[in-house]
Amino acid sequence: MSRIKFLGTSGGRFVLINQLRKTGGIWLSIDNTNLLIDPGPGTLTRCHASRPKLNPRDLDAIILTHKHLDHSNDVNLMIEAMTNGGWDKKGALFAPSDALDKDPVVLHHFRDKVDKIVKLEEKGEYNIGNISFKTPVKHIHGVETYGLNISGKNNTISVISDTKYFKGLENFYKGDILILNLVMREGKDHILHLDVSDAEKIISANKPKLCIITHFGMTMVKAKPWEIAEMLSKKTGVKVVAASDGMQVNLDEYQK
Ligand SMILES: [Zn+2]
């Protein structure tokens, strides 16, 4: 079965620090290829706590959309786990260059343990196992950040990682399933994140088969994400669900 598992759904520093929501990122299994996106604090614990357990040694790649702590904290640990403590050199790490070069979050000590390290770039196209993915546009987020368009044999998934809204953003992310990092209830210009009105605009324009909102900051947690999802569903006519920690989505139900 191809599936998405939300190991964590927290976004923003206060939800992270207080662990009001977990911060384990997203585990994606498509066509027998396993990807871990944005391993924040506690990812390994979340893998072991999953039922059924997720074995990090099954991973084919780890992707960092950017180097902020809630997206990258466990990257070294997860390389260690993916490669069986470094004994089985395998897998790939994809990350923006500023996560690797300037003030890097990936320790040099771990870099030899993976088969390859690939720097993400705007308009980049990449392959791993049975899937391919693209990073269509650089986001506005303070550090180098990309969203993802992931394609399997029967599925297309867009992941809009952290960004401030910019004109035309929605045009870059046309996957059947849209995962949207919705940090704020209501936007403030200096906070480089999407808010609910941005989400409505994007979902209305793209009409995915399913939109999953996740990566909630404090104002979203307080606003009850499931109620926001229901409101967005009503306004856009699209099935919108709020991710919860441990939630799994069966991708076979959303084939192209
Ligand atoms: Zn961020």
Digit-coded pLDDT (tens) for 123-163: 999 999 999 999 999 999 999 999 999 999 999 999 999 99
Ligand 1 center to 162 CA (angstroms): 5
Ligand 1 center to 17 CA (angstroms): 14
Q: What is the DSSP letter of 16?
A: H
Ligand 1 center to 248 CA (angstroms): 23
Confidence (pLDDT) at 1 = 86
Helices (H), 21-121: 43-49, 69-72, 75-82, 108-111
Confidence (pLDDT) at 26 = 98
Confidence (pLDDT) at 172 = 98
Ligand 1 center to 140 CA (angstroms): 10
Ligand 1 center to 7 CA (angstroms): 17
> Which burial class, exposed, middle or buried, applies to 20 when counting CB atoms under 10 A from its CB (0-12, 13-18, 19+)?
middle
Residues 110-114 have a mean pLDDT of: 97
Distance from C-alpha of 102 to C-alpha of 95, rounded to nearest angstrom:
12
From the CA atom positions of the chain, what is the Rg in Å?
Answer: 17
Closest CA to 150 of 189, 124, 115, 185: 124
Ligand 1 center to 216 CA (angstroms): 11
- pLDDT 10s digits, 51-98: 999 999 999 999 999 999 999 999 999 999 999 999 999 999 999 999
Ligand 1 center to 145 CA (angstroms): 8
